[in-house]
Structure 1
Amino acid sequence: MPVVFLLLTFTFTFSFHGCFVHAGDPELYFNWNVSFAKVSPFGVEKKVIVINDRLPGPLLNVTTNNVVSVNVFNNLDDPFLLTWNGVQMRRNSWNDGVQGTNCPIPPGKNWTYHMQVKDQIGSFFYFPSLGFQMAAGGYGPIRINNRVIIPIPFSFPQDDFDILIADWYDMDYQDMRDAVDQGFPLSLPDGILINGLPPEKANFTFKSGATYRLRISNVGIKTTLNFRIQGHKMLLVETEGSYTLKQYYDSLDIHVGQSYSVLVTADQPPSTSYYIVASSRFLELDLLGVAIINYGDGSNKRPSGGLPEGPLPFDYNYSMEQARSIRWDLKVGAARPNPQGSYRYGHINITRTIVLQNDEVMIGDRTRHAINGVSFVYPDTPLKLADYFRIAGVLTAGEVPDEPSGRKPTLGTPVVDASYKSFVEIVFQNNESWIQSWHMDGYNFVVVGMEEGKWNKSSRSTYNMVDAIFRSTVQVYPNSWTAILVALDNMGTWNIRSQELERRQLGQELYMRVKWDEAANNTVPNPRDEMPFPPGLLLCGKAAARSGTP
């Protein structure tokens, strides 16, 4: 199947239902048709999810402050939802596109997402959030461009390329889901795809001497991938909406759910072509995804020499040291003209510490994954709707303690209540031998520390409180911890999840309900702090018969 990115035509309108926008903010309108297709990248035919007949799906190319409407037609035989990995959805968890906030789009129906990409730039992606559908595709790239009045902190590249790398399983996604639910762990992947294609099928054309921006996302379901280019260094400039200190890398470890932008200059002899490699990390099996860069003389020559070598497969120290080297550029602006360094997070008082420990547990006769002893199961009513309509018996606030308690593992629907405008320290503690990847919807956070061992209060002495990277997905190495700081300035109910599909399917996620604390703020909430109930929102479960008034 050819890889085609389609920038859809947009129209300007002057209204946006349920949003607080200005008349000058244009609305971009997209129609996306979700359907099945069949591909066989490694010789085994598999049913995949395509959007507008494409895998990856169409590029969502927008600019800061744009109001975006995406009308999704579900032509599958399963319910369907898309979520927007890293897009912050200011004041708008109503459109987050996960099962705890939205009712699924039924087969044969459509629903329109409405969102404003406010105060944000950068490289992201979207993907299906329900029942292992991501293992079948349905993903695509997102670019949020700078407004014209905000310059990018590097010379404008010749072109941008979106590169989506992913592990691949030949098994049908529904069979994968059923097997995991029955307690059978996922096997090793069958291969690595680059832009939905098997090795040496994806091609990129460079003009000799020109510089290109590559926006790389790991859209896989389990595997960390190392990305590198034969004969070319990569200048890292951005990750998930933050401009980084400009540093050259021979290769980059890109963990599940993460996105990076690098600049690559076509400064090698044009007499040959060059390999791009995405290789598996921390697996017993060395899997390779391969693409080819052709210098644009039309000859399409074969690359000479072997594939560029990456780091040793299980060298966790290399990977952690690389992660620590990625830092915020304090001198440049991003979505706003003020420098990123004007956000002096190290001078803000921490109001609460939450330690989230992931565990593999047995509940009954089944293996599950849990956070602080609670393994998440979804009710038939989204948590956001249950909260809005005050429906009892759906969510349980406080069910997950702020730190591991040694409790007997249980199933539950945990929601962490948190105060709007508080500043929270979250520690992800990984006592397992497998690397973890964590994401927080609705927010970016500052990754202040990661170390081997068990976190304690004295671990704060190792924190980077000046220029730590600001992002939305972070890795936690085996038998290690990662600490983040987050300003809870976005009201709503937000998903905190493992980016590894098997773990998420078996309960490694929770929700944080960020709400106004009248006692702490000595005032009532401003209605502008969260969007009102949007017209036309899909209703289901115990909310199915409700209207827009609680």
Structure 2
Amino acid sequence: MKFWHEVMAPTRRLMLATFSLILLWSFLMVAFIVDADNQRMFFDWTVSYAQRSPLGASKRVILINDQFPGPLLSATTNDVVDVNVHNNLAEPFLLTWNGLQQRRNSWQDGVQGTNCPIPPGQNWTYSFQLKDQIGSFFYFPSLLFQKAAGGYGAIRINNRPVIAIPFPAPLEEFDVLIGDWYNADYQDMRSLLDRGLPLPPQPDGILINGAGPHQTTFYFQPGATYRFRISNVGLKTTLNFRIQNHLMLLVETEGSYTLQQYYKTLDIHVGQSFSVLVTANQADGQSYYMVATSRFFIPELIGTAIIRYSGSPAEPIGFIPSGPAPMDYAYSIDQARSIRWDLAVGAARPNPQGSFHYGLINISRTIILQNDMASIDNHQRYTVNGVSFTHPDTPLKLADYFQLDSIFPVNSIPDAPDGQVPTLGISVLDATYRDFIHLVFQNTQPTMQHWHIDGYNFFVVGMDAGKWDESKRATYNMNDAVSRSTVQVYPNSWTAILIELDNQGMWNVRSQDHERWYLGQELYMRVKGTGDDDPSSISTRDEAPIPDNVIKCGRAGSAS
């Protein structure tokens, strides 16, 4: 037997070496396949002014690559995206990516608290990976009230080929950007707010894809199914969306696949995005209205586009289809509660969405954010827990990285309203990486509120009228609440969310009402691991390093 082992030893060593090579080859092939799936995509965008007349009145509009709305950003899960932005405006500029999670990379978030602006006449390249995300989103300018002049566009994150889409592939996909529109120049609107005066209570109209009534057309083939990715890119107005004589099958919202339900009309709140499937169930020879109408004020404003079958007249026949009554809040809240997560399907990953049992995770912290209106120094301002946000001369992200301690105080906003006199301040909420928190948005005002958290999706577990208290937890949906990044809060009501803090960085929490955001209704959530007091020492596994091309400004201008 000893002889046999001695004879076979070289053979065993050869077999082991061969097996090791096979394992290495397999690993390299897998790595190659994974890398091959993750494309690097390059976009070159030039931001400029032009005169346009969407509602008949000429207005200075912000274009991207001479387009309004701007170009579609279409990519696939895990792609790396580079967007080189040339600022040809006469003032600083930033784009933010509404709903993109920017995994561990708030350096690319494009808001004033994380990035120095791109100066006039210069360019800067955003670089980020669309990590573990699918869905419908949009981008828009985040500085100086520029969103009122346009500069927005659609984002699609498509499924990887290995992940099944939970519905038959549509014949075609359309991006539909709906929003309110003011004919006033955005700088004049900004000046009005800076003087402590409110905007007019109603916009001048509703645009669909940057155009006024009847100016946008979509073409249908009988029997075909189409996917519409609809985003409310407006400043402050909830819109109701519908298509004459066609039902809409809701399938996705902001990166989550929903239980598939048919709707005649959909309320789409400011900053929200939905995907619906529409089957062309009518015969050739007819046109139909696509409609977006304002909600919750009178008189109702109407925006329209046209659905045309071949051989049909340019204009639809008959009346514009009616939606819910403008002031019918009950309709809207019942619809919001009806939108549920599809637990059985995968999204960015093959495992079902429902395999993440959020309802079984222990909650480590409860935070109540109450929005109010206040007069501070004889100026109208908006507050969160008594603080109206004001920006320092240095972005908070840079101040934190370079440990410029005098820029902002930590934990500078209470976890619940404490009755303090309204004040100006720099609100930063310290939070611990991997915590699971319960956050309640309390709206004390008689108007709609809309909230967004950059870098995250969250579970919308409850909403109702009145003031939130602990007893409301018993009403929560702890099984299939929809996961999204923007949520509405109805007048004199509350909305509760659950959120896993799995994304380190400095993240903006803001009102999506652009007037309120501009006048202080925001804060920043600094998510860090325990012991991560020196941001420069944080592992790149937990957070991306400072970009080589970072723009430095304020007191970070000379930091190194």
Give 1:411's aligned residue: 424
Tell me the distance in 2 between the aligned counterparts of 1:506 and 1:301.
Answer: 43
Is 1:267 the counterpart of 2:267? The answer is no
Tell me the distance in 2 between the aligned counterparts of 1:37 and 1:398.
Answer: 43
Give 2:205's aligned residue: 191
Q: Which amino acid aligns with 2:357?
A: R
Aligned-residue offset at 1:380: 1.0
- Asked if the contact 2:197–2:379 (Cα under 8 Å) also holds between the matched residues in 1, the reply is no
Give 2:20's aligned residue: none
Give 1:294's aligned residue: 308
Is 1:216 the counterpart of 2:230? The answer is yes
Aligned-residue offset at 1:392: 2.4
Aligned-residue offset at 1:302: 2.3
Determine which of 90, 113, 117 is the counterpart of 2:126: 113
Report the secondary structure of 1:528's partner residue: coil
- Asked if the contact 2:285–2:311 (Cα under 8 Å) also holds between the matched residues in 1, the reply is no
Tell me the distance in 2 between the aligned counterparts of 1:264 and 1:180.
Answer: 41
Give 1:158's aligned residue: 171
- Asked if the contact 2:293–2:300 (Cα under 8 Å) also holds between the matched residues in 1, the reply is yes
CA offset digits 1:250-309 (Å, max 9, x no partner): 0000000000000000001322100000000011221000000001x2444421110010
Q: Which amino acid aligns with 1:265?
A: T
Question: How do 1:43-62 residues align onto structure 2 when only pairs under 5 Å count?
Answer: 43-62=56-75
Relative to the length of structure 2, the TM-score reads: 0.92
Report the secondary structure of 2:541's partner residue: helix
Q: Which amino acid aligns with 1:196?
A: G
- Asked if the contact 1:34–1:73 (Cα under 8 Å) also holds between the matched residues in 2, the reply is yes
CA offset digits 1:393-427 (Å, max 9, x no partner): 21121111000000011100110000000000110
CA offset digits 1:474-513 (Å, max 9, x no partner): 0000000000000000000000000011000110000000
Determine which of 351, 360, 378 is the counterpart of 2:373: 360
- Aligned residue pairs total 523
Report the secondary structure of 1:174's partner residue: helix
Aligned-residue offset at 1:366: 1.1
Q: Which amino acid aligns with 1:287?
A: L
Unpaired runs of at least 5, structure 2: 1-33
Tell me the distance in 1 between the aligned counterparts of 2:66 and 2:44.
Answer: 12
Report the secondary structure of 1:529's partner residue: coil
Tell me the distance in 2 between the aligned counterparts of 1:153 and 1:147.
Answer: 13
Determine which of 235, 245, 262 is the counterpart of 1:231: 245
Tell me the distance in 1 between the aligned counterparts of 2:312 and 2:244.
Answer: 18
Question: How do 1:121-200 residues align onto structure 2 when only pairs under 5 Å count?
Answer: 121-187=134-200, 188-200=202-214
Give 2:458's aligned residue: 445
Aligned-residue offset at 1:362: 1.3
Tell me the distance in 1 between the aligned counterparts of 2:313 and 2:341.
Answer: 38
Q: Which amino acid aligns with 1:517?
A: T
- Asked if the contact 1:35–1:74 (Cα under 8 Å) also holds between the matched residues in 2, the reply is yes
- Asked if the contact 1:496–1:510 (Cα under 8 Å) also holds between the matched residues in 2, the reply is yes
Tell me the distance in 2 between the aligned counterparts of 1:152 and 1:388.
Answer: 40
Unpaired runs of at least 5, structure 1: 1-20
Tell me the distance in 1 between the aligned counterparts of 2:285 and 2:35.
Answer: 53
Question: How do 1:2-401 residues align onto structure 2 when only pairs under 5 Å count?
Answer: 22=35, 25-187=38-200, 188-295=202-309, 297-401=310-414
Report the secondary structure of 1:397's partner residue: coil
Is 1:505 the counterpart of 2:522? The answer is no
- Asked if the contact 2:506–2:525 (Cα under 8 Å) also holds between the matched residues in 1, the reply is yes
Q: Would the alpha carbon gap of residues 24 and 236 (structure 1) be closer, same or farther in structure 2, given more than 3 Å must change? A: closer
Percent identity between the aligned chains?
A: 64
Tell me the distance in 1 between the aligned counterparts of 2:326 and 2:312.
Answer: 35
Q: Deviating runs (4+, > 3 A) in structure 1?
A: 21-24, 298-301, 524-527
Aligned-residue offset at 1:47: 0.2
Is 1:467 the counterpart of 2:480? The answer is yes
Stretch deviating more after TM superposition (167-176 or 267-276): 267-276
- Asked if the contact 1:518–1:525 (Cα under 8 Å) also holds between the matched residues in 2, the reply is no
Aligned-residue offset at 1:525: 5.6
CA offset digits 1:28-72 (Å, max 9, x no partner): 000000000111122221000000000000000000000000000
Report the secondary structure of 2:388's partner residue: strand
Tell me the distance in 1 between the aligned counterparts of 2:313 and 2:401.
Answer: 58
Determine which of 528, 531, 548 is the counterpart of 1:515: 528
- Asked if the contact 1:283–1:313 (Cα under 8 Å) also holds between the matched residues in 2, the reply is yes
Tell me the distance in 2 between the aligned counterparts of 1:60 and 1:504.
Answer: 25
CA offset digits 1:349-371 (Å, max 9, x no partner): 00000000000011121111000
Tell me the distance in 1 between the aligned counterparts of 2:141 and 2:71.
Answer: 14
Aligned-residue offset at 1:530: 0.2
Q: Would the alpha carbon gap of residues 301 and 46 (structure 1) be closer, same or farther in structure 2, given more than 3 Å must change? A: closer
Report the secondary structure of 2:228's partner residue: strand
Tell me the distance in 2 between the aligned counterparts of 1:41 and 1:421.
Answer: 46
Q: Which amino acid aligns with 2:334?
A: E
Report the secondary structure of 2:103's partner residue: coil
Greater helix share, structure number: 2
CA offset digits 1:75-100 (Å, max 9, x no partner): 00010000000000001000000000
Report the secondary structure of 1:358's partner residue: strand
Q: Which amino acid aligns with 1:199?
A: P
Aligned-residue offset at 1:383: 0.1
Give 1:3's aligned residue: none
Stretch deviating more after TM superposition (196-205 or 526-535): 526-535
Tell me the distance in 2 between the aligned counterparts of 1:166 and 1:202.
Answer: 14
Report the secondary structure of 1:283's partner residue: coil
Aligned-residue offset at 1:23: 6.9
Tell me the distance in 1 between the aligned counterparts of 2:462 and 2:553.
Answer: 41
Tell me the distance in 1 between the aligned counterparts of 2:147 and 2:499.
Answer: 28
Tell me the distance in 1 between the aligned counterparts of 2:319 and 2:284.
Answer: 17
Report the secondary structure of 1:527's partner residue: coil
- Asked if the contact 1:64–1:118 (Cα under 8 Å) also holds between the matched residues in 2, the reply is yes
Tell me the distance in 2 between the aligned counterparts of 1:271 and 1:534.
Answer: 55
Aligned-residue offset at 1:315: 0.6
Q: Which amino acid aligns with 1:203?
A: T
Tell me the distance in 2 between the aligned counterparts of 1:218 and 1:504.
Answer: 16
Give 1:18's aligned residue: none
Q: Which amino acid aligns with 1:100?
A: G
- Asked if the contact 2:107–2:115 (Cα under 8 Å) also holds between the matched residues in 1, the reply is yes
- Asked if the contact 1:240–1:260 (Cα under 8 Å) also holds between the matched residues in 2, the reply is yes
Q: Which amino acid aligns with 1:29?
A: F
